[in-house]
Amino acid sequence: MANAPGESTPRETGTDSMYDGAGYLASLRDAREIYIYGERVPDVTTHPAFRNACRSIARLYDALHDPKHRDTLTGIDRSGVRTHKFFKPCYSAQELWEARDAIVDWSRLSYGYMGRTPDYKAALMGTLASEPEYYAPFDESARKWYARYSSQCLFLNHCLINPPTDRSRPVHEVGDVYVHVVKERDDGIIVSGAKMLGTGSAMTHATFVAQNSAVTLDKEKAKDFALVFIAPMDTAGMKLICRASYEQNAQSPFDHPLSSRFDENDAVLIFENSFIAWENVFVYRDTERANGFYRHSRFVNRFMLQATSRLAVKLDLMVGLFAKGIETNGTDAFRGVQAALGEIIGWRNLLWGMTAAMCLDPENAPGGAVVPKQEYAYTMRIFGTQCWPAVRQIFEKFLSGSLLVFPSSYKDFLNPDLRPVLEKYYRGASVSAVERIKLFKLIWDAIGTEFGARHELYEMNYTGNHEQIRLDVLTGARKSGILDQCIALTDQCMSEYGLEGWTGSTWVWDK
């Protein structure tokens, strides 16, 4: 990272060195190697593919210092440093609850449409303070990274998944593609290989690289792949190959009000003989810890609090969009349409309820911390994936063809010949043509444009493949004893009767 935090705006106290928006944007101007449309991006903060998304993140950093948000968003950690409330470990249900409110406050600034705001990776980084010893002999890396991360509120992306080169082969047989150590040096390691999908990575400070928890690493043969490390975005030999930019393709704020400012580009990260200093390494050639840190750190428990709170905010927007959409179409008084609105509100209520359960009924974690209970967090991985397609389908069923009843561009309204025609034929039941089209373009960007469609893919996949998220719930139930309790309850029910009738005297049966 080329720029120190707060360079643009020095803070008054030694304990507050969180970035502000200007400092954050300045910190992105370094030697990072980002490619899009065949060219290297000279400055991510001014490039039309990324500049508004960067500004959306800058807005979050400004909020940390804004008196309107500061007390909700920030607090003091146990070392006396001011940080975002989810960037530090939580030691009580009350602290988790306040961390949720901080997540929500940030999320509202992108209406839940940015999944990988800096608080996402705080789910793991915050845990480095409560039990750095787990990463021994790299525990000092964990301590130092927590201190730096929390005090500056750094923005990390993470890249856990190996590209889909060949899923039928074990990881160590795809060494030409998958990230592995090439060479060990006195001062660190050299790594090569690719990872997917670094959401938002172009506008972060560093990438966190590890193996996906679903991957099984052969104890002996896969040691070179058993790594957890952090690479600053200006790491030499690291390239980001970006997907097409929905921000750059957006025509105007009126036509694409979400994609034009909240597009977190998903990139493939490629390391070619990149140097990673020991202080950025957490796990090295240790197959057990390369996977084990997920469960041990309770990373999933915490990231699902961020993810569910963010999705709850997004659902608030969806409730509002649907309510306005049916009113505009004049269908809001029909019983079936009202039931559909009720269903979306039901999803919304379920998500908010789950955030409350995750905070107020937590479980103990290493180092005296508390985290959302595994049952709740892991279960939300399943229902989060079901929620979004269900809600999206309601929009498509009940707003139907009206979802495409809008002209190609805001420019059509600027054409004096066309304007009166549009005013007449595109008006809604209760609003003008401009208001109607403004609303429906927002709805379409939320669910139907390339940006909107990518959101469905995101909600359905980002916590793991659809089988893995269910298998993890099963594994959890086996370990916690929940499965045994359920089987015992079933056995009890079956023990109360047989071929001879009831086994006890409670009930009667006339043979």
Ligand X SMILES: Cc1cc2nc3c(=O)[nH]c(=O)nc-3n(C[C@H](O)[C@H](O)[C@H](O)COP(=O)(O)OP(=O)(O)OC[C@H]3O[C@@H](n4cnc5c(N)ncnc54)[C@H](O)[C@@H]3O)c2cc1C
Enumerate binding residues for ligand X (CB under 6 A): 157-161, 164, 167, 196-199, 266, 454, 457-458, 461-462, 464-467
317: which residues sit within 8 A by CB, 6+ positions away?
111, 112, 113, 446
| Under 8 Å between Cβ of 203 and 118 | no
Q: Work out how close the CB of 50 gets to ligand X at its nearest, in angstroms, rounded to a whole number.
A: 16
- In the complex with ligand X, which residue's Cβ is closer, 21 or 198? 198
| Under 8 Å between Cβ of 112 and 103 | no
Q: Work out how close the CB of 458 gets to ligand X at its nearest, in angstroms, rounded to a whole number.
A: 4
Structural tokens at position 32: 């990072």
Q: Work out how close the CB of 115 gets to ligand X at its nearest, in angstroms, rounded to a whole number.
A: 8
354: which residues sit within 8 A by CB, 6+ positions away?
308, 376, 380, 383
Q: Work out how close the CB of 477 gets to ligand X at its nearest, in angstroms, rounded to a whole number.
A: 21
Instruction: Please state, in angstroms and as integers, the Cα–Cα distance from residue 317 to each residue in 312, 348, 385, 446, 485, following that order.
Output: 9, 10, 18, 9, 39
- In the complex with ligand X, which residue's Cβ is closer, 219 or 411? 219
Distance in angstroms (rounded) separating the CA atoms of residues 500 and 401: 62
Distance in angstroms (rounded) separating the CA atoms of residues 67 and 15: 17
- In the complex with ligand X, which residue's Cβ is closer, 209 or 433? 209
- In the complex with ligand X, which residue's Cβ is closer, 77 or 247? 247
Q: Work out how close the CB of 347 gets to ligand X at its nearest, in angstroms, rounded to a whole number.
A: 20
Distance in angstroms (rounded) separating the CA atoms of residues 268 and 271: 10
3-state secondary structure of 133: helix
- In the complex with ligand X, which residue's Cβ is closer, 266 or 286? 266
459: which residues sit within 8 A by CB, 6+ positions away?
311, 384, 385, 387, 388, 389
The dihedrals phi and psi of 34, each to the nearest 5 degrees, come to: -115, 135
Q: Work out how close the CB of 140 gets to ligand X at its nearest, in angstroms, rounded to a whole number.
A: 26
Distance in angstroms (rounded) separating the CA atoms of residues 476 and 495: 27
Rounded to a whole number of angstroms, the distance between the first and last alpha carbons of the chain is: 82
Closest CA to 153 of 112, 204, 195: 204
| Under 8 Å between Cβ of 230 and 145 | yes
- In the complex with ligand X, which residue's Cβ is closer, 197 or 354? 197
How many residues are present in the chain? 511
Q: Work out how close the CB of 457 gets to ligand X at its nearest, in angstroms, rounded to a whole number.
A: 4
Structural tokens at position 481: 């004893």
Q: Work out how close the CB of 129 gets to ligand X at its nearest, in angstroms, rounded to a whole number.
A: 23
- In the complex with ligand X, which residue's Cβ is closer, 418 or 457? 457
Distance in angstroms (rounded) separating the CA atoms of residues 81 and 152: 10
- In the complex with ligand X, which residue's Cβ is closer, 267 or 358? 267
3-state secondary structure of 499: coil
Q: Work out how close the CB of 469 gets to ligand X at its nearest, in angstroms, rounded to a whole number.
A: 9
Q: Work out how close the CB of 144 gets to ligand X at its nearest, in angstroms, rounded to a whole number.
A: 24
- In the complex with ligand X, which residue's Cβ is closer, 160 or 305? 160
Amino acid at 48: P
Cα dihedral 474, 477, 479, 482, rounded to 10, equals: -150
- In the complex with ligand X, which residue's Cβ is closer, 157 or 306? 157
- In the complex with ligand X, which residue's Cβ is closer, 160 or 240? 160
Q: Work out how close the CB of 164 gets to ligand X at its nearest, in angstroms, rounded to a whole number.
A: 6
